[in-house]
Amino acid sequence: MTDADGGLLALLYAPAPSEDRPYRLVVLLHGAGGSARQGLDLLLPVADTHHLLLLAPQAAATSWDLIVEGFGTDVRRIDGLLKSTFAGYPVREVVLGGFSDGASYALSLGLTNGDLVDGVVAFSPGFSAPLMTHGHPQVFVSHGVDDRVLPVDVCSRRLVPRLHELGYDVMYQEFPGGHEVPEEIRAAAADWLTTRRQKS
């Protein structure tokens, strides 16, 4: 997906369609200084098995707008990408996901739009800063206990209890590693996506 000048807006991956099985759309947000390809790779290895339609936007700057100056350019870009995706594919629910700054952005955007978003997958988030909250999307959070970029003690170990206090259903997994998404965590997130309780 490109803009009028040929610049990359996003990468999209769609497993083979099934007549009676609409997609679960997962919007994947890369970390600071990262790329749409890195966002896509977060769940690409499990996309076919779990029938996940993956949309990986490219941030307009080195990180997402909220990190730099507040919601703006990237929100509008994601909104346009979602409209295009809905027009081209049968989608039954929308999940926001990401890694590092992308995870913080997914949480912030997902909780702000919880009446529209069904879930959030946050790999090694630093924070959550929604403008306001709507609905109660379910949340999956993972974090490495040896993370030196976003230390678990000041990030997820503070964030997850706060989400519980606010009434969110959170699946939290720590792992023996650093600032990364190990294979077992990717698999756990994919399993959570497909087995969790659905919205009524």
If one looks up domain 10-195 in CATH, what number appears? 3.40.50.1820
State residue 199's pLDDT score. 52
| Measured distance CA(36)–CA(34) in Å, rounded | 7
State residue 59's pLDDT score. 94
State residue 128's pLDDT score. 94
State residue 166's pLDDT score. 93
DSSP code of 67?
Answer: H
State residue 200's pLDDT score. 42
State residue 54's pLDDT score. 98
If you count them, how many residues does the chain have?
A: 200
Domain extent listing, the chain: 10-195
pLDDT, averaged per 10 consecutive residues of the chain (200 residues), comes to: 71 91 96 97 97 96 82 92 96 96 96 94 95 90 98 98 96 98 98 77
Q: Which amino acid is at 14?
A: A
State residue 66's pLDDT score. 82
Instruction: Tell whether pTM > 0.75.
Output: yes
With a CB cutoff of 8 Å and minimum separation 6, the contacts of 170 are 138, 139, 140, 141, 160, 163, 164
Place of tokens 């790329």: 35
State residue 71's pLDDT score. 83
160 neighbors 192 (Cβ within 8 angstroms): no
